[in-house]
C-alpha cells in the first residue's frame, strides 16, 4: 500500500477525475473499440484452424501402448514374464510404465493451440465489459421521482453488459473443465488399454472441444456486435438520461 496520505479534498478530486476518465474511455470503447473487435473476430473465423471441416485433424495420438493379451488360462504369452501382483497394482491393469514408453500422455496440441489464441480474447472482453459496466454506472443520475425513462434504458444496457461479462468468465471454466475431463478419459485408457471405446471417447471429446471453441469465438463476436448495437442506438439516453429537468417537462 502507498505510504503517502492525501487529504479528503484531494481524494475527492482524484476520484472525480477517475470517474471522468472512465466516462471518456467508455465512450471510446463503444465508438472505436467494439467495431474493431467485431472485424477482428470475423477475420479470425475466416482463417484456419476455425475454418476446418474435417474434425479428424484434431485427433491426437495418446501414445498409450496395448499390452499383449493373456492366454485363455490367464498366463502371458510365451517369452513374457508375468509381473508380480504388487507391480500390477490392483490386478486390473498392467503397470503404467509398460504402457507409457514416453513417460507421459501429451495434451492435444491442435486444441491447446486454439485455446492459447482464445484465452487473451476472453480476458480482453472481460476487461472491456467491466469498463463499460462502470461507464454506464457512473452516468446513472441520482434517484428522483419521475422522468426515469432514460434511467431504465441505462439499466437495460447495464444488464446487457453485465451478462456479457458473466458469460465471458464461464469460458475460462469450460476450458479447464475440458482438460480435467480429458485427463479422466486418458486415465481410463491407461487402466483399460484393450478397450477401444475409451480411446474413441477421447477423440470424440477433442472433436467436440474444437466445435465448442469455435462457437466460443462466434459468441464473443456476437456479444461485441450486440453491445455495440444496443449502446450506440441508445447512446444519447445513456449519456443524458434526463435531458430536461422535471420542471421543464411540465410544459
> At residue 13, does pLDDT exceed 70?
yes
Q: Tell me the pLDDT of the chain averaged across its residues.
A: 85
Share of the chain above pLDDT 90, in %: 65
- For the segment 118-139, the average pLDDT, to the nearest whole number, is 95
Q: How far apart are the first and last CA of the chain?
A: 54
Residue 234 lies in a domain: yes
Residue 7 lies in a domain: no
pLDDT of residue 5: 79
Render pLDDT for 52-91 as a digit per residue (tens, 0 to 9).
999 999 999 888 878 777 665 556 555 554 444 444 444 4
CA–CA distances in Å: residue 19 to residues 12, 14, 156, 181:
11, 9, 21, 44
- Rounded to whole angstroms, how far apart are CA atoms 112 and 174? 13
Higher pLDDT, 244 or 66: 66
Q: Are 58 and 207 in contact (CB under 8 A)?
A: yes
Residue 161 lies in a domain: yes
Q: Are 128 and 139 in contact (CB under 8 A)?
A: no
Higher pLDDT, 133 or 141: 133
**What CATH number does residue 119 fall under?**
1.20.120.180
> At residue 1, does pLDDT exceed 80?
no
Render pLDDT for 199-238 as a digit per residue (tens, 0 to 9).
999 999 999 999 999 999 999 999 999 999 999 999 999 9
pLDDT of residue 110: 96
Q: 247: pLDDT confidence band, cut at 50, 70 and 90?
A: very low
What is the residue range of 118's domain? 20-51+108-242
pLDDT of residue 41: 97
Residue 205 lies in a domain: yes
- One-letter-per-residue 3-state SS of 236-250: HHHHCCCCCCCCHHH
Residue 89 lies in a domain: no
Residue 127 lies in a domain: yes
Render pLDDT for 146-177 as a digit per residue (tens, 0 to 9).
667 888 899 999 999 999 999 999 999 999 99
Q: How many domains does the chain have?
A: 1
pTM of the model: 0.81
Q: Are 139 and 22 in contact (CB under 8 A)?
A: no
pLDDT of residue 67: 77
Residue 77 lies in a domain: no
Instruction: Show the cell assigned to 247.
Output: 420542471
What burial letters (b/e) apply to 32-67, b meaning 16+ CB within 10 Å?
Answer: ebbeebbeebeebeeeeebeeeeeeebebebebeee
- For the segment 13-30, the average pLDDT, to the nearest whole number, is 94
**Closest among 226, 149, 152, 30 to 22, alpha carbons compared:** 30
- For the segment 99-106, the average pLDDT, to the nearest whole number, is 75
Residue 122 lies in a domain: yes
pLDDT of residue 249: 40
Amino acid at each position: 500500500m502507498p505510504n503517502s496520505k492525501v487529504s479528503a479534498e484531494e481524494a475527492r478530486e482524484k476520484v472525480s477525475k477517475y470517474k471522468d476518465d472512465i466516462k471518456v474511455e467508455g465512450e471510446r470503447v463503444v465508438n472505436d473499440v467494439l467495431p474493431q473487435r467485431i472485424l477482428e473476430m470475423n477475420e479470425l473465423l475466416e482463417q484456419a484452424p476455425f475454418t476446418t471441416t474435417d474434425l479428424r485433424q484434431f485427433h491426437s495420438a495418446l501414445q498409450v501402448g496395448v499390452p499383449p493379451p493373456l492366454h485363455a488360462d490367464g498366463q502371458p504369452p510365451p517369452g513374457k514374464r508375468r509381473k508380480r501382483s504388487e507391480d500390477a497394482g490392483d490386478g486390473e491393469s498392467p503397470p503404467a510404465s509398460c504402457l507409457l514408453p514416453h513417460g507421459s500422455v501429451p495434451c492435444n496440441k491442435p486444441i491447446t493451440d486454439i485455446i492459447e489464441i482464445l484465452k487473451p480474447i476472453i480476458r480482453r472482453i472481460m476487461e472491456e465489459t467491466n469498463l463499460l459496466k462502470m461507464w454506464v454506472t457512473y452516468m446513472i443520475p441520482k434517484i428522483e421521482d419521475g422522468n426515469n425513462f432514460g434511467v431504465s434504458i441505462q439499466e437495460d444496457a447495464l444488464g446487457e453488459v453485465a451478462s456479457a461479462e458473466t458469460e465471458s468468465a464461464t469460458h475460462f471454466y469450460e476450458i479447464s473443465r475440458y482438460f480435467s475431463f480429458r485427463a479422466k478419459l486418458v486415465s481410463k485408457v491407461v487402466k483399460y488399454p484393450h478397450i477401444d471405446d475409451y480411446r474413441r471417447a477421447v477423440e470424440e471429446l477433442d472433436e467436440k472441444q474444437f466445435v465448442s471453441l469455435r462457437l466460443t469465438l462466434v459468441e464473443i463476436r456476437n456479444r461485441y456486435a450486440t453491445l455495440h448495437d444496443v449502446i450506440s442506438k441508445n447512446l444519447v439516453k445513456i449519456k443524458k438520461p434526463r435531458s430536461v429537468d422535471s420542471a421543464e417537462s411540465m410544459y
